Structure 1
Amino acid sequence: MRAIRFEAFGEPSVLEMVEAAPPAADGQTALVRVMAASINQSDVKNVAGAMKQTTLPRIPGRDFAGVVEAGPAEWIGAEVWGSGGDTGFTRDGTHAELVAVPVASLRRKPDTLSFDEAASVGVNYLAAWSGLEAAGLTAGETLLLIGAGGGVGSAAAQIARCRGARVIAADRHVPHPDAPIHAIAETLIIAARDLPAEIRAATDGKGADVVFDLVGGVMFRSAVGCLALRGRLIEIAATGQREVTFDLADFYHNESRLFGVDTLKRDLTASARVLDALTPGFIAGDYRAAPIAETCGLGEAQAAYRKVAAGMPGRVVLRPQD
């Protein structure tokens, strides 16, 4: 089979298209022909050597949609989708014509999604769902999304709307005109000089019940300052700085809570259980995949990785069968 593989960490130039032996199916493992596989920022970071758990040589790629080619009889020919924090890191990933996955992780792709769309859901929605589940966001609560214009922000806004929460969005730049956040956010704050003050003004002085900080690092202190009494802060990134400081007395007097969420801790099977929870929303049309900016074949993988690394808006999708 054709696959993208890297044998050393570095720039996308370390990626090579190779002819690799196809993985084998057995009683516990199915073989999926990959029809589409998106490229995530975490895939780019993985190739660059930022993920300490990665073993080499490795085929990268986390998200996928495809057709079951080998495995249990009842799954042969089924259109499936998936993602995993192990895929592309400690086991070969989805940027290949075929990928081996545990039978327990197989989930049927919603008919409402194309292969390209289904392959674009995984990491963004896994992070959004896991974060909001950790914080226990409920109807009537106020959610602040910091860095709302990205894929995780769009996913979190859609999930929050379905839960009956009020959404406030903040970003350095105006999100893409097609971003769902425009239709969902009650308030959209762009390039705030004093974000906590603006959040207090937008919430009658209360603050946000849940702050989902999609930037982290440089925004951490501002995020803490936006919390309502007994507010919950979700962190999934550390942009700009890994170590942060805050006023501990203020934090405990406010009875604030802090949650860290890492989708890499959820393997294919654990991630499939999140897809189970998300599937009804995609079938009903309550959720939609992020816009697809570009599709390409495996031979264009290096250029595609560079575009993702540069922050290209929308999703970049590999079609291994092209």
Structure 2
Amino acid sequence: MRALRFERFGGPEVLCVGEAADPVAGEGMAVVAVKAASINPSDVMAVSGRLEGVTLPRIPGRDFAGVVTEGPDDWVGAEVWGTGGDIGSSLDGSHAERIALPVGALARKPTTLDFAEAATVGVNFVVGWLGAIETAELAAGETIAVFGVSGGVGTAVAQIAHAIGAQRIVGVSPHAPAAGTPAAGTPAAEVIDEFVPFDVHTDVPAEIRRITGGRGVDVVYDAVGGVTTPSAVASLAHRGRLVVISAIDTPTAEIDLRDFYHRELRMLGADSRKLDATASAELLERITPHFRRGQFRPLPIAQTFDLDHGPDAYRAVAEKKMRGRIVIQP
């Protein structure tokens, strides 16, 4: 089969397209013909060597959607989607014509999504659900601020919060969803109640307190982290929960510990890479009904590339040239 591969760490220039061994459906395994696979920032990090646990040589790519060609009879021919912290790291990934996976990693794709749309869901909705629902335990009637709402994870979290009945959803980002990522009319723009720009001119915690009548929010989902952490902590209500999934610009943050414990706050970490392909499939099964009912919508696609132009696709993600998701269609 043809695949995108790298044998040393570096920028998109280390990627090459060529022949790779056909995956085999051994005991407990299945083979999926990849119809579409998005590129996440973490895929770029894996190629660069900035992601822990990546072994060489490797085919990159975490998210995928495709058709099962080999495996148990009840799965052959099924349209599936998936993701996993081990895919493209310790296992060969989805930026290839085919991928081998444990049978337990198979999850049936909602018929409401085409392959390209389904390929944008994996990492973003898995870490969104993991952080908001399973880690922070966001409940109906609570308030949430989503830092990085214009990005892929932020878009997913805004939809998740809306679906479970959050009372108020505040989006925080340098770019409003109506003007940045995602583009106008997409899910995050439709479900957030208020938007607060994260810039040098705005006191974000003060704006959030104003919006919430001086109280602050029950949950902050910080999809940025690092540079945003002090503002995120200051935006919380008494006994509020902060979920952190990333650290941009700096891996450290300074907070007032006396204020932290007097307000009985909680800071929680959520890491989708701790979920392998099988655990991710189980979580996708919980998310699937929301897509079938139209409560969740996929992320906007900026451009699709064929496999031969895979390095160009990676370059577009690395250089942040495009608004929206980049998808490879092998």
Q: TM-score range by the shorter chain?
A: over 0.9
SS in 2 for 1:274: helix
Match of 1:131 in 2: 131
Match of 2:230 in 1: 221
Task: Tell me which amino acid in the other structure corresponds to 1:143.
Answer: I
Q: Verify the 8 A CA contact 1:63 1:84 in the aligned structure 2.
A: yes
Task: Tell me which amino acid in the other structure corresponds to 1:136.
Answer: E
Match of 2:58 in 1: 58
Match of 1:317 in 2: 327
How far the C-alpha of 1:119 sits from its partner, in A, is 0.8
TM-score by length of 1: 0.98
How far the C-alpha of 1:184 sits from its partner, in A, is 1.1
Once the two structures are superposed, the pairs formed by residues 10-49 of structure 1 within 5 Å of their partners are: 10-49=10-49
Match of 1:211 in 2: 220
Task: Tell me which amino acid in the other structure corresponds to 1:315.
Answer: R
Match of 2:175 in 1: 173
Give the whole-Å Cα distance in 2 for the aligned partners of 1:147 and 1:98: 33
How far the C-alpha of 1:239 sits from its partner, in A, is 0.3
Give the whole-Å Cα distance in 1 for the aligned partners of 2:137 and 2:198: 28
Out of 170, 185, 188, the position equivalent to 2:192 is 185
How far the C-alpha of 1:66 sits from its partner, in A, is 0.6
> 273-282 or 305-314, which moves further after superposition?
305-314
Give the whole-Å Cα distance in 1 for the aligned partners of 2:138 and 2:234: 19
What percentage of aligned pairs have identical amino acids?
A: 52
Give the whole-Å Cα distance in 2 for the aligned partners of 1:33 and 1:182: 34
Task: Tell me which amino acid in the other structure corresponds to 1:230.
Answer: R
Give the whole-Å Cα distance in 2 for the aligned partners of 1:199 and 1:76: 50
Give the whole-Å Cα distance in 1 for the aligned partners of 2:78 and 2:155: 29
Q: Verify the 8 A CA contact 2:144 2:170 in the aligned structure 1.
A: yes
Task: Tell me which amino acid in the other structure corresponds to 2:188.
Answer: I
Task: Tell me which amino acid in the other structure corresponds to 2:267.
Answer: L
SS in 1 for 2:74: helix
Deviations 1:145-171 (A, max 9, x none): 111111111111111011110201111
Match of 2:278 in 1: 269
Give the whole-Å Cα distance in 2 for the aligned partners of 1:258 and 1:78: 41
SS in 1 for 2:308: helix
> 219-228 or 188-197, which moves further after superposition?
188-197
Out of 299, 302, 310, the position equivalent to 1:301 is 310
> 109-118 or 183-192, which moves further after superposition?
183-192
Deviations 1:70-111 (A, max 9, x none): 110111111111001000000100000010000011111110
Q: Verify the 8 A CA contact 2:197 2:204 in the aligned structure 1.
A: no
Match of 1:163 in 2: 164
TM-score by length of 2: 0.95
How far the C-alpha of 1:199 sits from its partner, in A, is 0.7
Q: Verify the 8 A CA contact 1:149 1:179 in the aligned structure 2.
A: no
Over the aligned positions, Cα root-mean-square deviation in angstroms equals: 0.9
How far the C-alpha of 1:294 sits from its partner, in A, is 0.8
Gaps of 5+ in 2: 178-182
Give the whole-Å Cα distance in 2 for the aligned partners of 1:214 and 1:16: 31
Task: Tell me which amino acid in the other structure corresponds to 2:176.
Answer: V
Give the whole-Å Cα distance in 1 for the aligned partners of 2:189 and 2:328: 28
How far the C-alpha of 1:178 sits from its partner, in A, is 2.9
How far the C-alpha of 1:27 sits from its partner, in A, is 2.5
Give the whole-Å Cα distance in 1 for the aligned partners of 2:311 and 2:185: 27
Match of 2:260 in 1: 251
Give the whole-Å Cα distance in 2 for the aligned partners of 1:238 and 1:191: 16
Pairing 1:96–2:96 present: yes
Task: Tell me which amino acid in the other structure corresponds to 1:159.
Answer: I
Give the whole-Å Cα distance in 1 for the aligned partners of 2:208 and 2:116: 37
> 305-314 or 75-84, which moves further after superposition?
305-314
Match of 2:152 in 1: 151
Task: Tell me which amino acid in the other structure corresponds to 1:15.
Answer: L
